Structure 1
């Protein structure tokens, strides 16, 4: 397993502090300069603070070793955190949409260049934060950091939309261009849809892991090739691989010559396990059950768990 807890946690703390600072900046500037878009984006960032706290908690929990109550470890805590962050994003997108629609039919308010500058600074800050968090997530194989990076990306869209809308409104008010005051709410609606799309994709992925769905077919085929690279493996009856937080768990049933004794079978499974762990660092466990293979008789095993009534 390549997950480096303390270093990944540092990246999560950077996100938490940044989100807290940006939340205060946006809400304060939004209230001072009467910017609905900036206040809404600040509230969105407030949700990110909660999400960052959830990320840190889940990462600490998922790094705990297996115990009596959780013999498979605590890896799925990060998937739960990802689902939680997705729900926050859905709520933020809904809130931003409501505020944008309300602004379309509300009174026209003047826009300050300082509100525009605050949104622009937020977008740039979030871009650097997204790049840093994404690199950390890839390096440490952390699903929570991947979810946080996706959240930062959504924030970039939101801040750019806010900056664009505020900029159009500000320039339009100076040059007396009609209808430019609608730039802010229209941009807010567009970005809300983009944020909602990201959130739905994230929650589907997290739910699939929690529901014990298999890894993608490409990965499964790669695992299959490792088994078949041993000439003693005559057939693969069952091969299942599932994600457990940041790691993958594999269980398989293979056929080897019936003439093999227990020691030979054990040596073979250990060699397969060692090669799998060496080739795929994110694979944490490989459980292998061996069945006898006869040259003149090819028994057929079920490709899934037998139904209880068939026992």
Structure 2
């Protein structure tokens, strides 16, 4: 596992400070220049501040070592944070949709060039922040940073839509072009739908991890190849792999020759575990159960969940 807590945490702090500054800039400029789109986008960024605080808290918690109450560690704290960020995005998308629809039927207001510039600066700032956070998310294998990067991407859409709507409205007011004031709310509705889609995909992924769902089939096939690369492994009875925070936990039952001693079986499982961890750094634990293999004898697969029979 290559997760680097302190460096990843620094990235989360950069996101928090940036979101806080952007929230103040958007709301202040929006109120001064009477821009509904900019105020709504600022409120959206306010939700991002809350999400960033949750991200930092979850990353600190996930770095805590395993203890008696949490023998598998605290890795799922980041998945809980991802789900929380998704909920914040869903609420923000619904709020932006409401504000955009209300603006469609509200009074026509003049658009300021400064509000348009503020929206452009916000979009550029968020784009640089997205590149920085997304790169860090892959480097440090952090789900919370992946969720934060997705949040930044949603903010880029929102800021571009606000800038596009404000720009159309400003040009229309200068050139007296009718109906251009509708550009802002229409763009806001479109972006709200995009943000909502991102949030739904994120919350589904986080929920799957919290519900102990398996990793995808391609990943399981790759793990199987590692087991079968050892000629002593005659068959894989069961292979289960699940995500636990930023790590993957693997449980397997394999068949090896029945003539092997306990020491030989232990040496083999340790060799498999070492190779798996070396090839796949995100794999944190490999639990291997050995079943006997007899040449020429029909194999009966064990139950996936062993159970005891009452005597």
Classify the TM-score, shorter chain: over 0.9
Q: Is residue 2:106 matched to residue 1:106?
A: yes
Q: Is residue 2:193 matched to residue 1:193?
A: yes
Aligned positions of 1:252-291 closer than 5 A: 252-291=252-291
Cα gap change, 1:238 to 1:98, in 2 (>3 Å) = same
How far did 1:310 drift?
A: 9.9
How far did 1:268 drift?
A: 0.3
CA contact (8 A) 1:254 1:291 kept: yes
> Which SS does the other structure have where 1:218 is aligned?
helix
How far did 1:109 drift?
A: 0.5
> Which SS does the other structure have where 1:243 is aligned?
strand
How far did 1:298 drift?
A: 2.6
CA contact (8 A) 1:237 1:303 kept: no
Q: What is aligned with 1:251?
A: 251
How far did 1:305 drift?
A: 1.5
- Distance (whole Å) between structure 2 residues aligned to residue 156 and residue 280 of structure 1: 33
Unaligned runs of 5+ in 2: none
Cα gap change, 1:264 to 1:307, in 2 (>3 Å) = closer
Unaligned runs of 5+ in 1: none
How far did 1:301 drift?
A: 1.7
- Distance (whole Å) between structure 2 residues aligned to residue 109 and residue 82 of structure 1: 38
- 1:58-96 CA distances to partner (integer Å, 9 max, x unpaired)? 000000000010000000000000000000000000000
**Which 4+ residue blocks in structure 1 deviate beyond 4 angstroms?**
306-311
- 1:262-301 CA distances to partner (integer Å, 9 max, x unpaired)? 0000000000000000000000000000000000213212
- Distance (whole Å) between structure 2 residues aligned to residue 309 and residue 257 of structure 1: 27
Q: Is residue 2:212 matched to residue 1:240?
A: no
Aligned positions of 1:29-48 closer than 5 A: 29-48=29-48
Q: What is aligned with 2:147?
A: 147
Cα gap change, 1:309 to 1:168, in 2 (>3 Å) = farther
Aligned positions of 1:64-75 closer than 5 A: 64-75=64-75
Aligned length, in residue pairs: 311
- 1:107-146 CA distances to partner (integer Å, 9 max, x unpaired)? 0001100000000000000000000000000000000000
How far did 1:303 drift?
A: 5.8
Aligned positions of 1:1-311 closer than 5 A: 1-302=1-302, 304-306=304-306
TM-score by length of 2: 0.98
CA contact (8 A) 1:162 1:187 kept: yes
- How well do the aligned residues superpose, as a CA RMSD in angstroms? 1.2
- Distance (whole Å) between structure 2 residues aligned to residue 297 and residue 200 of structure 1: 50
Cα gap change, 1:298 to 1:16, in 2 (>3 Å) = same
- Distance (whole Å) between structure 2 residues aligned to residue 308 and residue 84 of structure 1: 40
How far did 1:252 drift?
A: 0.2
> Which SS does the other structure have where 1:225 is aligned?
helix
Cα gap change, 1:309 to 1:91, in 2 (>3 Å) = farther
- 1:153-181 CA distances to partner (integer Å, 9 max, x unpaired)? 00000000000000000000010000000
